[in-house]
Amino acid sequence: MMERAKNIYFLGIGGIGMSALAHYYLLEGCNIYGYDRTPSPITDRLASEGAHIHFDENPDIIPQDIDFVIYTPAISKEHKEYLHFLQKGTPIYKRAQVLGMITDRYSTAAVAGTHGKTTTTSMLAHILNDERNTIAFIGGIAKNFDSNFVLHPNPEIAVVEADEFDRSFLTLHPEIAVITSMDADHLDIYGSKTKLEESFNLFAAQVSGTVIANEKIAPLISHNNKLTYGFAPASDCHATDITPHENLTDFTIHYLDEPPIRITIAVPGTHNALNATAAYAAARQLGIAPETIRAKLATFSGVKRRFDYQIASPGLVFIDDYAHHPEELRSIICSVKEIYKSKKLTVIFQPHLYTRTRDFAHEFAEVLGLADKIILLPIYPARELPIQGIDSQYLLSLIGNNNKIVLEKDQLLAHLAKNKPEVLLTLGAGDIDRLVPKIKELFEK
């Protein structure tokens, strides 16, 4: 059925994972139709490649001969178009199901984890791209490819970001997997950290070859063929002598009993040295030579919205990042403070989801308090309805640092114009990215 399909409909086509599948099927010669809530650079690009996209719930304009539908869990089951397809009896698949069916055709390397997975996936795809015929599905726009999707004409290996949300990664059956982290998250789905860890172990059980696990969570992962990575000398693959710079990071990798190798990556941050160490271990397990990995990591140019420099001038540094979990915020804030020790850091944070804000309010407050100034935007609801008493004002009240404020999005530019920061960091997984070009334009003027 899916192999013979010509007309495919996407509900939520602008999502990062959904759009990668849309790119795949466009290149397969299929006719792609889809709905999303708002236009974006992603939907603009898909439209330029031939996809037919609209932005209002309107079953009347959907073609009659749709072979099957792919939807994201962010789409409500009450969505008019979802109900239309349900009533028609059109086959409907979750994004994760389709990704699993596609990658089952190839030897697969998957990267899972509550944070760090997008950069690590991008690094691994970049390392493998010229060495092995690669198809890759990435949860962000990798700058080396200017895309979240990579396709060699004759792919032999799939590199895929394995998403734990809604247990999506349980549709994958990789040969090799990296697990970067297992912090409590998506508690609206899992209910508890224990249930989240159980799901990661179910994922690990589906890995036929090697599981490469961060040293911090490796004891929690059960697998017969497990490698550890991190900063500790006891780990199978570990980084030492890390030297952070403004635009790059130097460090030494020690992999099993092989000679140590000095690595330079063209992205800043100790956390990126850790991501590169994971990618190095995975590439070595796949038979890529150490010198080849070193050369490829030296030309890795990062991921959009991951430690993404917008301005780097003597008067102002402006960095944008997708971080939306307390540990992700800690990682990026600490890395920026390490690089710019003598400068004041202003953080603009848009909390993502009412449930996440509620579940981690004190953790968010503690880590945001590390900044010199904190600006909170209203919570981005995504798929959720408001929760009484949970808003940005509540989160602000918990932050110990007194240099803090809540602003509406339309108040932000005027505030920044009057209060120019030294180092500015925009953080969040909602629509804060739409403000980034406007902030950049403000300061470049």
Average pLDDT value for the chain: 94
Cα–Cα distance, 210 to 174 (Å, whole number) = 9
Q: Is the pLDDT confidence value at 345 over 80?
A: yes
Task: Please name the CATH architecture into which domain 308-444 falls.
Answer: Alpha-Beta Complex (3.90)
Is residue 49 flagged as an active site residue? no
- Based on the residue annotation, tell me whether 118 is a catalytic residue of this protein: yes
- The pTM (predicted TM-score) of the whole model is 0.90
Whole-angstrom distance, CA of residue 310 vs CA of residue 124: 25
What is the structure's pLDDT at 32? 98
Q: Whole-angstrom distance between the N-terminal and C-terminal Cα of the chain? A: 55
pLDDT digits (tens, 9 = 90+) for 73-110: 888 889 999 999 999 999 999 999 999 999 999 999 99
Q: How far apart are CA 339 and CA 307, in angstroms?
A: 12
Active-site residue (options: 43, 81, 117, 327): 117
Q: Which two tokens stand for residue 143?
A: 């700058």
Q: Which among 81, 121, 161, 426 is annotated as catalytic? A: 161
According to the model, what pLDDT value does residue 185 have? 66
Residue 353 carries which side chain, given as an amino acid letter? L
Q: How confident is residue 412, by pLDDT bands cut at 50, 70 and 90? A: very high
> Is the pLDDT higher at 391 or at 163?
391
C-beta of residue 397 within 8 angstroms of C-beta of residue 374: no
- Domain positions in the chain are 7-95, 104-298, 308-444
Band (pLDDT 50/70/90 cuts) for residue 130 is confident
The 10s digit of each residue's pLDDT in 14-68 is: 999 999 999 999 999 999 999 999 899 999 999 999 999 999 999 999 999 999 9
Task: For residue range 221-246, list pLDDT tens digits in order.
Answer: 999 999 999 999 999 999 999 998 88
Question: In the predicted model, is pLDDT for residue 186 greater than 70?
Answer: no
Handedness of CA 79, 80, 86, 91 (dihedral sign): negative
Tokens of 287: 């038979």
| 175 pLDDT more than 70 | yes
The CATH architecture that domain 104-298 belongs to is: 3-Layer(aba) Sandwich (3.40)
Q: Which of 43, 103, 108, 118 is catalytic?
A: 118
The pLDDT confidence band at residue 247, using thresholds 50, 70 and 90, is confident
Q: What pLDDT is attached to residue 1?
A: 56
Pair of tokens at residue 250: 């130097």
Catalytic annotation on 117? yes
CB-CB contact of 392 with 376 (8 Å): yes
What SS3 class is residue 373?
A: strand
pLDDT, tens digit (0-9, with 9 covering 90-100), for 292-324: 999 999 999 999 999 999 999 999 999 999 999
Class of domain 7-95: alpha beta
